[in-house]
Structure 1
Amino acid sequence: MSRIGKKPVVIPAGVTAKVEGQAISVKGGKGELHFTAPDYVSVALEGTQIAVSPRSEDKKARAAWGMTRSIVNNLVIGVSQGFERKLEITGVGYKAAVQGKNLQLSLGYSHDISFPIPDGIAIAAPKPTEVSITGIDKQRVGQIAAEIRALRPPEPYKGKGVKYAGEFIFRKEGKKK
């Protein structure tokens, strides 16, 4: 039994949801998102709640049950509140700035990196050492944050690089004489 899957997704005021077979569409103040649920689960709209239940008791259905409920919940949160991921840049001369539809990053390489900002995602650099990624799709926001972090992941000796806000970097001791 999935403890997460058992809970229905509550639809807040200002958000409308439609369920047509396995297709779910959620519309809110920030935009509209769509998701097609796997065939292992059934999705039903019950008043102001969306209920997800497995079609059978096999392992795949139980695995898809909680995942589908979480994805539907993220759709509802995304169109009502949105998602944000913050990155911190650490290192001498490392900085970020938004120029038009690109994020310009100086990460210690011989050249600056120009990261194109995709549609549906907003990237801001309130400080040269901070990057804020916002959007309505949690998966896309997290993926873009991971792609930016992968340009210069934090290294364990000095901690230089791009890291998630609040991420702990395990430090190593340097060489000993």
Structure 2
Amino acid sequence: MSRVGKLPVSIPQGVDVKIAADQITIKGALGTLVRPAHPLVTVKAEDGKLKVAPANESAEADAMSGTTRALLANMINGVSKGFEKKLTLVGVGFRAQAQGQKLNLQIGFSHPVVKDMPAGITVTTPTQTEILIKGADRQVVGQLAAEVRAFRPPEPYKGKGIRYADERVVIKETKKK
């Protein structure tokens, strides 16, 4: 059995877990997340812990038990604490401004780039060169941060662009004659 799949997931106070035949619903202070239940995995909630086990002895069921356990742990963590990604803008004149559910970026193009935020995601700009994306769903937060970064990824010669706060950009040396 998967080593990750064997570990139980503790359910903190204020988090409600409902397991149906076809889906798993987790409610918490920061929202509600729903995930379809995989047919090769059985999930049980007993005495404040979620236990995940493969439904049969196949290798796919074993792999999916670890995957399902990790996804459920991320859902519980998301509805209780939440997830966040921090992006920084590097470049002269590069600015970001959060306006409600929209992110307005001025990143060296002839026009401003506007990105709409999906429901359940909040975006803030503590400074003009920092973007903070927060939400309960880890996958949506990460995907949104990747889409914003893709508008102007860091280039290798000067390092200008949008990067993750913890990202290290290796600067190339310019061509010599």
Runs of 4+ that moved beyond 4 A: none
Q: CA deviation at 1:22?
A: 4.2
- Output the amino acid matched with 2:117: I
Q: CA deviation at 1:62?
A: 1.9
- Separation in 2, partners of 1:101, 1:76: 25
- Separation in 1, partners of 2:164, 2:40: 35
Q: Which residue of 2 aligns with 1:92?
A: 92
- Output the amino acid matched with 2:54: P
Q: Which residue of 2 aligns with 1:154?
A: 154
Q: SS of the residue aligned with 2:51?
A: strand
- Output the amino acid matched with 1:54: P
Q: TM-score, normalised by structure 2?
A: 0.96
Query: Do the aligned partners of 2:101 and 2:122 also contact (CA within 8 Å) in 1?
Result: no
Residues 39-94 of structure 1 show CA distances to partners (whole Å, capped at 9, x for unaligned) of 11111111211111111232211221111001100111111111111001101111
Q: Which residue of 2 aligns with 1:129?
A: 129
Question: RMSD of the alignment, in Å?
Answer: 1.1
Q: SS of the residue aligned with 1:44?
A: strand
Q: Which residue of 1 aligns with 2:19?
A: 19
Residues 145-176 of structure 1 show CA distances to partners (whole Å, capped at 9, x for unaligned) of 01100001111111111111111112211111
Q: Which residue of 1 aligns with 2:60?
A: 60
Q: Which residue of 1 aligns with 2:83?
A: 83
For structure 2, list consecutive stretches of 5 or more residues without a partner in the other structure. Answer: none
Identity of aligned residues (%): 48
- Output the amino acid matched with 2:133: I
Q: SS of the residue aligned with 2:103?
A: strand
Query: Do the aligned partners of 1:6 and 1:52 also contact (CA within 8 Å) in 2?
Result: yes
- Separation in 2, partners of 1:165, 1:80: 24
Q: CA deviation at 1:137?
A: 0.6
- Separation in 2, partners of 1:23, 1:128: 41
For structure 1, list consecutive stretches of 5 or more residues without a partner in the other structure. Answer: none
- Separation in 1, partners of 2:20, 2:118: 29
Query: Do the aligned partners of 1:17 and 1:26 also contact (CA within 8 Å) in 2?
Result: yes
Query: Do the aligned partners of 1:22 and 1:43 also contact (CA within 8 Å) in 2?
Result: no
Q: TM-score, normalised by structure 1?
A: 0.96
Q: SS of the residue aligned with 1:17?
A: strand
